[in-house]
């Protein structure tokens, strides 16, 4: 389990990664961050042509049910992996 301090430090490191992650990895980071901080996705799926918002919603919805503790740990592990790559 990752502590709140480890999670917050990872969120800061995520902003300063040596290389920009792929869009797929960015969506994974987004979904894990949102799940860790807010829990399961709520609200309606965006419609229309806002493809970025739709992708973000779908990524977050895809991990619904994951505990906030698990999401926090996975987020920290992913950021650490990306920072060391």
Q: Does 78 have pLDDT greater than 90?
A: yes
Q: Does 27 have pLDDT greater than 90?
A: yes
Residue range 35-77, pLDDT digits in tens: 999 999 999 999 889 999 999 999 999 999 999 999 999 999 9
What is the reported pLDDT for 1? 84
**What count of Cα atoms within 13 Å lies in the side-chain half-sphere of residue 80?**
11
DSSP conformation letters of 24-85? HHHHHHHHHHHHHHH-S--SPPP-TT-HHHHHHHHHHHTTTT--HHHHHHHHHHHHHHHHH-
The whole model's pTM is what? 0.94
Number of domains in the chain: 1
Q: Tell which wins on pLDDT, 29 or 1.
A: 29
Residue 33's domain is classified under what CATH number? 1.20.80.10
In terms of residue numbers, what domain contains 77?
4-84
Taking the C-alpha atoms of residue 60 and residue 32, their distance in angstroms, rounded to an integer, is: 7
What is the reported pLDDT for 61? 98
Would you call 8 helix, strand, or coil by DSSP? Answer: helix
């Amino acid at each position: 389990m990752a502590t709140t301090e480890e999670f917050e430090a990872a969120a800061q490191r995520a902003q300063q990664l040596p290389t920009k992650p792929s869009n797929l990895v960015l969506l994974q980071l987004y979904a894990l961050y949102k799940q860790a901080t807010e829990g399961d996705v709520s609200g309606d799926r965006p419609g229309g042509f806002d493809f970025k918002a739709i992708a973000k919603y779908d990524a977050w919805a895809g991990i619904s049910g994951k505990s906030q503790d698990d999401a926090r740990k996975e987020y920290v592990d992913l950021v650490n992996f990306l920072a060391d790559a």
